[in-house]
Structure 1
Amino acid sequence: MIGHCGLAAPDSAFGPAAGSRCLVLGVLNVTPDSFSDGGRHRSVAAAVHHGLELAATGADLVDVGGESTRPGAARIPLAEELARVLPVVRELAGAGVRVSIDTMRSAVAAAAVDAGAVLVNDVSGGRADPAMARCVAELGTPYVATHWRAPSADMAAHSHYGDVVTEVVAELRDRLAALTAAGVRPERIVLDPGLGFAKTAEQSWQILRHLDALHELGQPVLVGASRKSFLAAFGPSGGPGREHATTAISTLAAARGAFAVRVHDVAASAVAVRVAAALAVSGAAAGDLCGRILDV
């Protein structure tokens, strides 16, 4: 059964299909040092196996990343990032999995799309690589632009805000204007508030409390809370407490109109977004976003 977004739809007993609900991006880090699962999927075979598992358990897209963006992480050479991600993207796409590429580099984005990726997820929102906006405009792919103030190595020093919600919205508005000025079609842009990126735990919670402010920008919104340090009160990274907290946030984000959530534990959030859609008065908004962004 195929939903109207071209994504594999679950049996109706499991609730609304893709196109009438929030989408789920499954995290696939092909890195040795990511904060939660670094080193687990470094070989191509292990990464592809896990990517197929993510898709089988409900990921609408598998988000492949070859460079850690954990707090304090240093950049890696371009050649190393390409070597990590391209074989994985190519094999997953060849197996029929819808793949997104998690990168801050235009060269990686272009190569990954050529290998079969259908969405570019850039945690710097185009600020780390000045060529990214023009590249994405030429590729014509959907593009996730995250709120970002500085590289991971020193982003903690940039977490000073007067009003974090107001300032994040304003800075995302500026990013949106810059991207569209570079030729990226507005209907292809998804905005991510960047929970944990140059933000304290309380600032991340403030943004989650005020997701409606992000919707005022008129763009689809992606929420990436999975296992992040602002959830530390619920337990250690990878522990059940943080997983349960992530699932709760997926439910709430979906109920508040998020276009997508990005998570490690796909199965739980796949159920959560379907529950949110089943309880919604109307799932039309999410369906419209899915069709508009994925254009299938």
Structure 2
Amino acid sequence: MKIEPSAIQVMGILNVTPDSFSDGGRHNRIDQALYQAEKMISDGAAWLDIGGESTRPGSDGVSADEELARIVPVIERVQANFDIPISVDTCKTAVMAEVLKLNEQMINDINALRDKGAVEVVAAAGAKVCLMHMQGEPRTMQHEPNYQHVVTDVKKFLADRVQICVQSGIQKDNIYLDPGFGFGKSVEHNYQLLHHLQEFHQLELPLLIGMSRKSMIGQVTGRAVTERLAGSLAAATIAALKGAQIIRVHDVKETVDAMKVVAATLAGEFA
């Protein structure tokens, strides 16, 4: 049986930072990053998500100049060698403005375009954007996160940000949503969001979900970061079955296989 490509896409994470929680320092040279990009594309990635600043809990920020120095050479080399849409993981308006000059297809912003001028920059470029929910900031977000009702609170935040973006000129069909697993949430909050993920379809926008190797996996399985593949695949499968359109991961090959099984299941076809 041949399953046609489904609406579920896998986005490969390409961190060009020295301190990301899972793969910090592994791809922060251009040749290493290009090798990893080629591997993820060969493994079936539909997107590459390139980031130059760690957003792990407790991390410190870097300047826009430093972030650009890390990511621009990698973006240019990937563009020159491969035909694949690129998402840039950044929350700085100055970085967005520069990378969008390179014709990048998506800004993936953990801060939901709340930096001054960010909405206007994305609107002017006509780019896609992923709006993510985060309570607090990376340095402090895991210090006793608190919600009245995490699903309702996160949905309201995202709905409000969508309204602001659309009113500012961003096309609604260019917007993706991410509830922000691990960003200012306890392990209980994360699994409540995953359990109720289908409720986010009420916002009538596609979901981009990232849980790969995160502490929510480690806290349940007891596994170290490098041993969380099985848990990450389980979380990705659940998210896809609940209607997520893009799954953002470190382990592309294995996730692509899992998504093929999800697609076959949702299609209701049998050999």
TM-score (norm 1): 0.86
Alignment counterpart, residue 121 of structure 1, candidates 108, 118, 122: 108
Alignment counterpart, residue 111 of structure 1, candidates 76, 98, 120: 98
Deviation digits for residues 163-191 of structure 1, max 9, x if unmatched?
Answer: 11111111111111111122111111000
Consecutive unaligned residues in structure 1, runs of 5 or more: 1-11, 284-296
Measured in 2, the distance between the counterparts of 1:146 and 1:158 equals 19
Alignment counterpart, residue 62 of structure 2, candidates 58, 73, 76: 76
> How many residues are matched?
266
Aligned residue number for residue 25 of structure 1: 11
Contact 1:26 1:265 in 2 (8 A): yes
Aligned residue number for residue 59 of structure 1: 45
Contact 1:195 1:224 in 2 (8 A): yes
Aligned residue number for residue 87 of structure 2: 100
| Higher RCO, Cα 8 Å, sep 6+ | 1
Aligned to 1:136, the other structure's residue is in SS state helix
Letter in 2 for 1:109: M
Measured in 2, the distance between the counterparts of 1:54 and 1:115 equals 21
Alignment counterpart, residue 189 of structure 2, candidates 203, 221, 230: 203
Aligned to 1:42, the other structure's residue is in SS state coil
Matches within 5 A, 1:249-264: 249-264=235-250
Aligned residue number for residue 238 of structure 1: 226
Deviation digits for residues 83-136 of structure 1, max 9, x if unmatched?
Answer: 000010111112123211111112222322322421111111112x12111111
Letter in 2 for 1:35: F
| Higher mean C-alpha deviation, range 136-145 or range 154-163 | 154-163
Letter in 2 for 1:110: A
| Higher mean C-alpha deviation, range 269-278 or range 60-69 | 269-278
Measured in 2, the distance between the counterparts of 1:140 and 1:224 equals 24
Alignment counterpart, residue 211 of structure 2, candidates 225, 250, 269: 225
Deviation digits for residues 185-208 of structure 1, max 9, x if unmatched?
Answer: 111100000000000011000000
Contact 2:135 2:185 in 1 (8 A): no
Measured in 2, the distance between the counterparts of 1:53 and 1:277 equals 23
Contact 2:11 2:248 in 1 (8 A): yes
Letter in 2 for 1:118: Q
Measured in 2, the distance between the counterparts of 1:215 and 1:48 equals 35
| Higher mean C-alpha deviation, range 142-151 or range 82-91 | 142-151
Aligned residue number for residue 50 of structure 1: 36
Q: Quick one: percent identity of the two aligned structures?
A: 37
Contact 1:137 1:184 in 2 (8 A): yes
Aligned to 1:26, the other structure's residue is in SS state strand
Note the C-alpha offset of 1:274. 1.7
After the TM superposition, which segments of 4 or more aligned residues of structure 1 sit over 4 Å from their partners? none
Measured in 1, the distance between the counterparts of 2:132 and 2:187 equals 17
Change (3 A) 1:47 1:167: same
Deviation digits for residues 225-260 of structure 1, max 9, x if unmatched?
Answer: 000001113211021xx1111111222211221110
Measured in 2, the distance between the counterparts of 1:145 and 1:282 equals 32
Measured in 2, the distance between the counterparts of 1:165 and 1:103 equals 24
Contact 1:94 1:116 in 2 (8 A): no
Change (3 A) 1:207 1:90: same
Measured in 1, the distance between the counterparts of 2:200 and 2:14 equals 26
- Alpha carbon RMSD of aligned pairs, Å? 1.6
1:157 aligns with 2:128: no
Note the C-alpha offset of 1:155. 1.1
Aligned to 2:88, the other structure's residue is in SS state strand
Aligned residue number for residue 289 of structure 1: none
Contact 2:208 2:247 in 1 (8 A): yes
Matches within 5 A, 1:180-195: 180-195=166-181
Aligned residue number for residue 286 of structure 1: none
Letter in 2 for 1:229: S
Measured in 1, the distance between the counterparts of 2:106 and 2:128 equals 5
Change (3 A) 1:282 1:121: farther
TM-score (norm 2): 0.94
Consecutive unaligned residues in structure 2, runs of 5 or more: none
Contact 1:99 1:116 in 2 (8 A): no
Aligned residue number for residue 271 of structure 1: 257
